[in-house]
A and B are shown apart, each in its own frame.
Chain A
Amino acid sequence: MGLRIIVLAKQVPDTRNVGKDAMKEDGTINRAALPAIFNPEDLNALEQALQLKDAHPGSTITLLTMGLPRSAEMVRESLYRGGDDGVVLTDRPLGGADTLATSYSLAQAIRHMGEFDIIVGGRQAIDGDTAQVGPQIAEKLGLPQVTYAESIQVADPAASGRNRQRQCRRLPSPQRPPHPEVQICRDAQREGRSARRPPGARRCPSLPCHQGVGREGD
């Protein structure tokens, strides 16, 4: 049985390259001077989703991101790696959203996107390290959550429960939430797979992206 998987990902400034020229006179960041990258911890989430897809043929992976229009690059990256489609939530009023506003908007988008079995996100985004948006989305959707997951396995594809491990301070414990649910992946030991971009493939000119979904939310 295939799973419908949503992967949450964020485009972030590459904090490893925050140099002097990345700062404006007034002490705020000049985002334009920083390269934007796929949040590395969200690549763990995508990789976990791809492993689930490998194990359960027929699964689909939808990448969901909120950010500037250029975040569509994230969807491309996901497609190259084996994802199926993506949603970019982009609109001026969403700029400067804090974690509550972000999780609200993403939760509304997810409601709009229809049925799913599991949502997987990275542990945190490297430009804030807050680790709040995943659990807040779970709360807004009324779903259970497992944070700091090290691996996710489906115990019995027919049953509506899964085995997983949660990395606690010193107690990893597999938990069995019913589905659907939200999973937050820790920087697991798994190596992300590289883009499976077919040789000679061009960048897709038009993508299956729906923009501005949040505005129509209920």
Chain B
Amino acid sequence: MEDKNNLIVYCEYDEGRIADVSLELLTKGRQLATRLGCRLEALVLGDKLDGIENELFPYGVDVVYKVQDNRLFPYTSLPHSSVVTTLFKEIEPQVCLMGATTIGRDLGPRVSSCLHSGLTADCTSLEIGDHTDAAKGKEYKDLLYQIRPAFGGNIVATIVNPECRPQMATVREGVMKKEIFDANYKGEVINLDPDNYIDPASLVVKIIDREIEQSKVNIKGAHIIVAGGYGVGSKENFDMLFELADVLGGEVGASRAAVDAGFTDHDRQIGQTGVTVRPKLYIACGISGQIQHIAGMNESSIIISINTDPDAPINAIADYVITGSVEDVIPRLIKHYKKNSK
């Protein structure tokens, strides 16, 4: 196989381990690379990378590029983009995937701008397919289909980047599933000399202090989610959702409209540009069910919708529909579960 034009995943590294989102992308990347007949490559930058390849190979990685240097951890924009762009100019990957995390969304646009190639943010699905440009009368084989909900209304857009390379996309954590490809898979390790990749001029930003705090909200891991939308109406009414979640042993999620209205925190946003969840039970309260929201929760096992509008789009994917107002229904649910859980 060629050492050029492969599929590469930028792997986020923190305190000795690789971020879940990167492993999820390697899982997806393996399928795409097989379909393309190219190698799956991983790029890791950090300070202590000894043996890190052993965490990556089981995902079917053929090549791990390692750049080990104290100056590459913790992450800062310039040195990382300097390494990534220098390497990409050499190996000319056809596809590059990154997590749509605070790091990926900081690095991706910079790399895209430097290499003059488009970047599709927050993809919900990635596939390989052909494309015909009718205007130019040109055929393109095996392009990356970058799929994400389009703005406004319930349309899903498939975006292709026919001419420029790499074809770049970011995907949020939890959108793809992480799965071991072959526990015994072995690939090649390529150690890159940091001095050839870190532009000295990129070292201008100094981190003077670092404070680490665990996120308090864990909606990704919750089995039961009570999610509130704009229809919940107020911050006070959201307290009812917290009470119900408490009684059920679940977490509270929200639509973007609810977050934008200030009913609850941004960390709780579910959907294309929030968190993707797959709980056993999802109770959607006053949520209309726009495509960007559905994208983040339609793989829930059971969906209950509570909405005043019997025709709300969310009802089409709900297993149970309660037509009524949040103010009326939620207190009754709380009362019911309190009584029956004793």
Contacts and interface: CB of A to CB of B under 8 A. Distances in A.
Nearest to B116: A100
Given A171-B212, A175-B208, A136 B109 contact: yes
Nearest to A103: B113
Interface stretch (B54-62, B117-125, B240-248, B324-332): B117-125
Contact of A139 (B105, B109, B208, B257): B109
B102 A169 contact: yes
B208 A174 contact: yes
A136 B111 CA distance: 8
Interface centre among A22, A127, A130, A147 (most CB of B within 10 A): A130
B105 A131 contact: yes
B106 A147 contact: yes
Interface in B82-139: 101-103, 105-106, 108-110, 112-114, 116, 118-119, 121-122
A22 B153 contact: yes
Contacts of B206: 175-176
Contacts of B105: 131-132, 147
A139 B74 contact: no
Contacts of B211: 171-173
Given A23-B152, A139-B110, A144-B205, A98 B118 contact: yes
A13 B116 contact: no
Interface in A49-81: none
Contact of A15 (B81, B116, B152, B215): B152
Contacts of A94: none
Contact of A132 (B102, B112, B114): B112
B300 interface: no
Interface string A177-197: 110000000010000000000
A29 interface: yes
Given A23-B152, A170-B215, A173-B210, A136 B260 contact: no
Contacts of B78: 144
Contacts of A172: 211, 213
A112 interface: no
A163 interface: yes
B70 to A, nearest CB: 16
A178 B266 contact: no
A170 B103 CA distance: 11
Contacts of B116: 100
A163 B106 contact: no
A171 B213 CA distance: 7
A174 B207 CA distance: 6
A128 B159 CA distance: 14
Contacts of A174: 207-209
Contact of A136 (B112, B152, B212, B266): B112
A28 B78 CA distance: 38
B113 A18 contact: no
Nearest to A191: B262
B122 A16 contact: no
B102 A135 contact: no
A173 B153 contact: no
A168 interface: yes
Interface of A: 13, 15-16, 18, 22-23, 27-29, 40, 98-100, 103, 126-136, 138-140, 144-148, 163, 167-178, 187
5 contacts: A16-B260, A132-B105, A136-B113, A144-B78, A144-B205
Given A128-B121, A129-B122, A132-B112, 4 more contacts: A16-B260, A99-B118, A136-B110, A170-B215
Interface of B: 74-78, 81, 101-103, 105-106, 108-110, 112-114, 116, 118-119, 121-122, 151-153, 155, 204-215, 230, 257, 260, 266, 272-273, 290
Q: Which 8 A-B pairs have the closest CB atoms?
A: A136-B113, A132-B109, A135-B109, A139-B113, A29-B152, A130-B121, A173-B210, A177-B205
